[in-house]
Amino acid sequence: MQFKRLLGYAGKYKKYLILCPLVMIGEVVMEMLLPTITAALIDNVIPECAQSGSISRVLLYGGVMLVMAVLSAGFGMAGARLSALGGLGFSKNLRKAIFDKVQHFSFKNIDKFSTASLITRLTTDVNQMQMMVMMLVRMAVRSPIMCVMAFVMAWRMNASLLPILAVAIPLLAIGIVIIMNLAFPRFQVMMKKYDALNASVQENLIAIRVVKAFVRAVHEKEKFEASADDVTASQRAAEKIVLWNNPLMQILMNGCIIAVLWLGGNQVIGGTMKLGALSSFIQYITQILMSLMMLSFLFVNFVLARASINRICEVLDEQPEIVSPEQAAETVRDGSIVFDHVGFSYSGDESNLVLEDANFTIRSGETIGIIGGTGSAKTTLVSLIPRLYDVTCGRILVGGKDVREYDIHALRDQVAMVLQKNVLFSGSIKENLRWGDADATDEEITAVCQTAAADEFVRTFPGGYDMDLGQGGVNVSGGQKQRLCIARALLKKPKIIIFDDATSAVDTATDARIREGLRTAMPDTTKIIIAQRITSVMDADRIMVLNDGKITDFGTHEELMERSEIYREVYLSQQKGVA
C-alpha cells in the first residue's frame, strides 16, 4: 500500500512513531481508570467516611488519583513530544526524498510535472501527510483501545444493556456515511469555485493596467461578484451537510444515555444493578461512541489525504529520463560537435519529429550563429548538446564521443548554456556568479564580468559585487540580468558555450562588445549563438538557418545572402535603411 511505503521514509524517526502509540496506551489506560476510581470514591468511600468520621480513605484515594493524573499528564506530554518528533521527522525525510528525486529529474521529467505542481507536492502535500501521521500515531491506537476497554468494562458491568449499542453504532455509521457521501462532492465543487475566485483576483492583479486602460473595472466587478456568489452558494451547499454531524452525535449520545437510564434504571429499582454502576456505564457508552467518532474522523482524513499520497508517490515513482552510464567518460577532449542524422520529438514519437534529420559538424573553437522563426526548433537543437534531452534517433558526438557515454556532470561542466528563460537566485551577485565555479577568485569574477559587459554596471551598484539580488534577481533590469547570466556561464571555462537568445534585452552595441570580448577571452571555446537579431549572428564563422524543424541552410553570411531566401528576407527586414 502506498501509505505504508511513504511511512518507510520516516527512517531514524521511526522509533518515535512506534513509541508514541505505546505512550498513548498509557494515557488511555489512565483515562479509563480515573472515572472508575472516581466512581468508587463517590459510591463507597465518601458515604463510608461520612459515617465513620475519618477522612483517611478519602486521602488515600485522592492520593492515588493525583498520582494517576500526574502520570496521565506525563504520558500525554510525552505523546505530544513523540508525535511531534516523529511527525516532523517523517515530513522532513519525505520532503528530502522528493527534493532529491527532483534533482535527478531531466528536463523531460520537469516538463511532465510543471513547476507549480512540483512546488505544491513539496509543500502542501507533504504538510497534509505530516498532520495525518501525527494524528494517526496519537489516535489510531488510542481510540480503538479506548473503545475496546470501555466495551469490556461495560460488558463486565452489565452485558444486558449492551444491545443499546447494537442500535446506536449502526445508526452512527449510517449517519456518518451519508453525511460524508453527500458532503464530499460538494466540497470538491466548492474548492473548484474557490480556485476560480482566486484565479480571477490574480488575473486582475496581473492585468490591472489593461483593466484600467480599457476602463473595464465595472465589467470586472460584475464578473467577480458572480464568482463570489458562486463560492458562497457552493460553500453553503457543502457546509449545510456537515452541520448535521453535531446534532446527530448529540441525539445519539443522549439517546443512549436515556436508554441506559430507562433500562438500567429498571434494574436499579429491581435491585439487580447498583446506582454507581449505572453512572459508570453511561460513561463507558459515551467513551465508546466518542472513540468511534474519532476513528471515523481519522478515516475521513485518510480519504482526503489519499490525493496527496498519490501525488507524492507519482513524483517518487518517476524514473529519471537521463542518467549517467556506468563506466562513464569523465573528460571532454575538445569542443567539436557532430550531429549524425539527429531527430527529436518531445513525446519520443518518431513519426512526429520536432527536429528532423539534423546532420552537421562543428569544429572546436568555431563560432556558430543560429537563426529561425518562433517554433523552428532552435532551442530544441542546442538542448541536445549538453544532453538536457536525449535524441529520438541518430546520435550526437561531443569531443568525438557520443554524449550518452559521458558522465552527465562532466559533460555539462564542459558544455555551458545560457538559457532563454534564465534566472538568478537570491543572494549576492558574487554568490550567483560562483554557481559557475565555486572556487573562483575575485579577480576571475571581475574578468568574466568584463567580458560579459557586466562589470561596468555592477560597479555602480551600492555594494558592488556584494549587492543582494533579491528573489529571482528582481533588483536588476532585464538586460543586466542577461549579462550576469552570461558571466556566470563564462566562469565555468567550458569547451562549448551556448547562448539561447541570451542578449535579447541587451542593446546592439553592447551585444557586439560582448561578442568581441568572447572572441578574445576564449578563442578555443566553441560558441553557439541563437538570436532574433541578425547583427548578433552576422559575424559568426558560419550561420545555420532553421525553418520548421529543418536545417535549410548552413554557411557564412556572404554565402547565405546569396543563396538563402529566408536569411535574406530577415536581413533586409532588419537592416533596411541602415547607412
Partner 1 sequence: MPAKPKNAKGTLLRLMQLLKPHKVSLIAVAFCILVTTGVSTFGIYLLRSVTSLLESLNAEYVAQGAMPDLSPLIRLLFGMGAMYLASAFCAYMYSRLMMLVSTSVLNKVRKQMFNHMEDLPIRYFDRRTHGEIMSRYTNDTDTLREFFSQTFPQAVSSFLSLCFSLFFMIRLNGWMTLLVIVLVPAMTVATQFIGKRSGASFVAQQRAVGALNGYIEETIEGQRVVQVFCHEDKARQDFEEKNEAVRAAGTRANTFAGMLGPIMNNMSHCFYVMVTLLGAILIVNNTGMNVPTLVAFLPMIRQFTQPISNLAQQFNTIMLALAGAERVFDLLDEPVEEDEGYVTLVNARKDAEGNIVETEERTGLWAWKHPHAADGSVTYTELKGDVVFENVTFGYEPEKTVLHNISLYARPGQKIAFVGSTGAGKTTITNLINRFYDIQEGKIRYDGINIEKIKKDDLRRSLAMVLQDTHLFTGTVRDNIRYGKLDATDADVEKAAKIANADFFIRHLPQGYDTMLTGDGANLSQGQRQLLAIARAAVTDPPVLILDEATSSIDTRTEALIEKGMDALMNGRTVFVIAHRLSTVRNSQAIMVLEHGVIIERGDHESLLAQKGKYYQLYTGMFELS
Hey, which residues between 362 and 401 contact partner 1 (CB under 8 A)? 373-375, 386, 388
Q: Does 105 bind partner 1 (CB under 8 A)?
A: yes
Q: How many CA atoms lie within 13 A of 448 on its CB side?
A: 24
Q: Does 68 bind partner 1 (CB under 8 A)?
A: yes
Neighbours of 524 (CB within 10 A): 9
- Which one of 50, 60, 167, 177 is in contact with partner 1 (CB under 8 A)? 50
1 or 573, CB closer to partner 1? 573
- Which one of 206, 303, 307, 323 is in contact with partner 1 (CB under 8 A)? 206
Q: Does 561 bind partner 1 (CB under 8 A)?
A: no
- Which one of 349, 468, 565, 569 is in contact with partner 1 (CB under 8 A)? 569
- Which residues, numbered 451-470, are part of the site for partner 1 (CB under 8 A)? 456-457
- Which residues, numbered 169-188, are part of the site for partner 1 (CB under 8 A)? none
75 or 344, CB closer to partner 1? 75
- Which one of 417, 490, 497, 514 is in contact with partner 1 (CB under 8 A)? 417
- Which one of 40, 189, 231, 300 is in contact with partner 1 (CB under 8 A)? 231
Q: Does 328 bind partner 1 (CB under 8 A)?
A: no
286 or 357, CB closer to partner 1? 286
- Which one of 18, 60, 173, 258 is in contact with partner 1 (CB under 8 A)? 258
447 or 512, CB closer to partner 1? 512
Q: Does 244 bind partner 1 (CB under 8 A)?
A: yes
Report yes or no: 395 and 402 within 8 Å, Cβ to Cβ.
Answer: yes
- Which residues, numbered 74-93, are part of the site for partner 1 (CB under 8 A)? 75-77, 79-81, 83-85, 87-89, 91-92
d(CA 473, CA 149): 61
Backbone φ and ψ for 262, nearest 5 degrees, come out as -75, -55
Paired residues of 369 in beta bridges: 529, 543
Task: Report the sign of the C-alpha dihedral through residues 22, 27, 31, 36, in that order.
Answer: positive
d(CA 296, CA 5): 23
Backbone φ and ψ for 333, nearest 5 degrees, come out as -65, -55
> What secondary structure, in 3-state letters, does 440-473 show?
CCHHHHHHHHHHCCCHHHHCCCCCHHHCECCCCC
Instruction: Return the SS3 of 291.
Output: helix
Q: Does 430 bind partner 1 (CB under 8 A)?
A: no
Cα→Cα distances 171→164, 248, 303, 308, Å: 11, 9, 21, 31
d(CA 343, CA 436): 31
**Buried b / exposed e along 163-188 (16+ C-beta atoms within 10 A):** ebbeebeeebeebbeebbeebeebbe
- Shortest separation between residue 211's beta carbon and partner 1, angstroms: 7
340 or 420, CB closer to partner 1? 420
Which one, of 495, 494, 512, 493, lies nearest residue 503 by Cα?
A: 512
- Shortest separation between residue 341's beta carbon and partner 1, angstroms: 26
- Which one of 150, 183, 278, 384 is in contact with partner 1 (CB under 8 A)? 278
- Shortest separation between residue 215's beta carbon and partner 1, angstroms: 5
Q: Does 107 bind partner 1 (CB under 8 A)?
A: yes
Paired residues of 344 in beta bridges: 355
Q: Cell 548578433 belongs to which residue?
A: 536
- Which residues, numbered 477-496, are part of the site for partner 1 (CB under 8 A)? 477-479, 488, 492
The DSSP symbol for 541 reads S
How far out from the chain centre does Cα 314 lie? 12
- Which residues, numbered 284-303, are part of the site for partner 1 (CB under 8 A)? none
- Shortest separation between residue 115's beta carbon and partner 1, angstroms: 5
Q: Does 102 bind partner 1 (CB under 8 A)?
A: yes
Q: Which three cell numbers stand for residue 526?
A: 566553441
Q: How many residues bind partner 1 (CB under 8 A)?
A: 155
Q: Does 250 bind partner 1 (CB under 8 A)?
A: yes
Say how many residues make up the chain. Answer: 579
Opening angle at CA 363, ends 359 and 367, nearest 5: 100
- Which one of 5, 192, 236, 395 is in contact with partner 1 (CB under 8 A)? 236
- Shortest separation between residue 489's beta carbon and partner 1, angstroms: 8
236 or 363, CB closer to partner 1? 236
Strand runs (DSSP E) across 345-481, as ranges?
Answer: 355-362, 367-372, 393-398, 401-402, 415-418
75 or 465, CB closer to partner 1? 75
Q: Does 73 bind partner 1 (CB under 8 A)?
A: yes
d(CA 517, CA 365): 14
- Which residues, numbered 520-559, are part of the site for partner 1 (CB under 8 A)? 532, 535
- Shortest separation between residue 285's beta carbon and partner 1, angstroms: 13
- Which residues, numbered 3-32, are part of the site for partner 1 (CB under 8 A)? 27
